[in-house]
Structure formats: structure tokens, C-alpha cells
Structure 1
Amino acid sequence: MSVEANKQLVRRFYETIEKEDYEALKEFAHKDFVFYPQIDTPFYGAEGLAESEKKNFEAFPGFKMPIQAIMGEDDQVAVYLIFEGTHTGIPFRGVPATGKKVRFSLMMMLRIADGKIIEKRSHVDVNDILRQLK
């Protein structure tokens, strides 16, 4: 795939996350997919992808996460996003729903193989999110 096609794939991926369509999200995952959160153990496969996204974003129903910048080179795409949501759903990192609004930035590095996402690496300051929930 071209760099532009990879960037389009990643855009659709994040649009699907924002729609909270975790079943459709699995279609983006390569059979050898692995997600490396910044501080957690990896999540593997399409099920791992859906599980990892769902457990974080169900805490903030109706969240928005627009792409601010996207860059690609060869088989990699880097994305900078701003997340905005209100903690009205499930507990987040052990914190029960607070009703508080959060806003934070995320950096992601995704690698594409065979037209699907084979690797995702996340960089986010979880402590910043937790501070906003206090």
C-alpha cells in the first residue's frame, strides 16, 4: 500500500473507534496484530485490539478524538490526537465514574502490513488523565 493509503486506513480506524464500533474495529487488525500500551502488557489479535480500546473508552461514552496531525513513511503512520470526554461510564484505572470532563493528547505509531494494522504503539500520560478525574 502507498503511504497515502496507509494514512487513509488509519483515519478510518480512528473514526471507527470514535463511533465505538468495536466489532467493526476488528476488521482493521492483521492476523498478527499486537498493541503495546505505554505501560501495560501487549494485547494480541483482533480480540485484543477490541478489548483494549473498549476498556478505556467505555469509561467516556460519547467521547471525541479528532486527529490533529498524521504523518506516514513506508509502512508506518504516526498520529497525534486530542481526546475529550466525560467520565460517566465504567471505572477508568480503578476510578469510579466521576462525571468530570477530561482532555488529553495521545501519540500513536501504527505499522501496516497487507492492508491491515499489524502493530500499534500508544504514548499517553495516564497520570494526567487521573489528575483530571480527582
Structure 2
Amino acid sequence: MHVDTDQLAANKAVVGKLVDAWNVRDVSQMMQYWSPDMVHHGRDGAMPASEVGGEMQRFIAAFPDIHIHVEEMIAERDLVSTRLTVSATHSGPYLNIEPTGRAVRCALMGQLRIVGGKVVEHWGVADTVHLLEQLGLIDGELLEATA
């Protein structure tokens, strides 16, 4: 089986540009790398591209200093998998939770399918339990029990 290393590198570059856009909180720049029919798959099911931008804006409003650090990125076929660390300060309302001013840090795992230089599908799993514990909404002992 032939592996097109140039295509794998190009796909990883798309993901790198998406992370860079997150780090400057530029949703319109992020959307340049999404196919208009991109689908995000999360714990609540599938979300179309038309809704993803709004969801990202709400997260940025709640955590305006968000920074994403790429721990690892692996490409195979048309998929790029990422292991990321997200750091931010809870400075705006989030999930109907008033700002706590707390610094948070959590893991985010993702996989993106890229076709023609555009993301057509995204799967993401965040360590939401750890995030909620850092916001003071979940007892830390519960988190230890789930580690």
C-alpha cells in the first residue's frame, strides 16, 4: 500500500492552522478550513457546520484567553488524530454557570477527516469532568474515583 506522505503532511498542516486560529480566537479563520457540509460528532450526536461556529463563539466568550497546545498529532489515510491540552480562564458565562475566574486545563482528544484540504468530519472528546471539577462544580474525590 502506497502512503502519500505529502498528503499526510498537508492534512496535518490543515489541523495545525485550525489550532493556530483557535489560539487567536478567530472563528471565521477556522471556518475557512471546514467543508460547508462538515459534521462535528460529539456526545450529543452530530452537529452541522452551521451550528459549530456559534458553539465555538460561545466557548470563546466564556474562556477568552483559551490556548490549545498540541501534544501529539498523527495522520493516516484521510484522518488526523490529535491529543491536545486546553488552558483557559473562566471569564464569561458557560453552560449557565457565571464566571468563576478560575484557570482551567483539560485534555481534548480529536480526530478529523480531511478531504481536499477541508475538514469534512470531526470527532472530539474533552475531559469535561475534569473541567467541571476545576470550576468547583464536581467534588475532586469523584474525579479521583474515575481516573
- TM > 0.5 fold call: yes
2:15 counterpart of 1:13: no
Task: Encode CA deviations 1:26-76: one digit per residue, 9 max, x unaligned.
Answer: 111112200112x2232212x323122222232111111111110000100
Which of the pair has the greater relative contact order for Cα pairs under 8 Å at 6+ separation?
1
* Aligned residue pair count: 131
Give the match's secondary structure for 1:54: helix
> In 1, Cα distance between the equivalents of 2:28 and 2:90?
23
**Structural mapping, 1:101-116, within 5 Å:** 101-116=103-118
Contact 1:7–1:70 at 8 Å: present in 2 too? yes
Dislocated runs of 4+, deviation >3 Å: none
Identical columns (%): 27
TM (normalized to structure 2)?
Answer: 0.83
Give the match's secondary structure for 1:66: strand
Structure 2 unaligned spans of 5+: 1-5, 137-147
Of 119, 122, 139, the residue aligned with 1:120 is 122
2:7 counterpart of 1:2: yes
Deviates more, 1:96-105 or 1:55-64: 55-64
> In 2, Cα distance between the equivalents of 1:85 and 1:60?
6
Distance 1:55 1:42, change over 3 A: farther
Contact 1:17–1:53 at 8 Å: present in 2 too? no
Of 91, 94, 114, the residue aligned with 1:92 is 94
Give the alignment's Cα RMSD to 1 decimal. Answer: 1.3
2:41 counterpart of 1:36: yes
2:58 counterpart of 1:55: yes
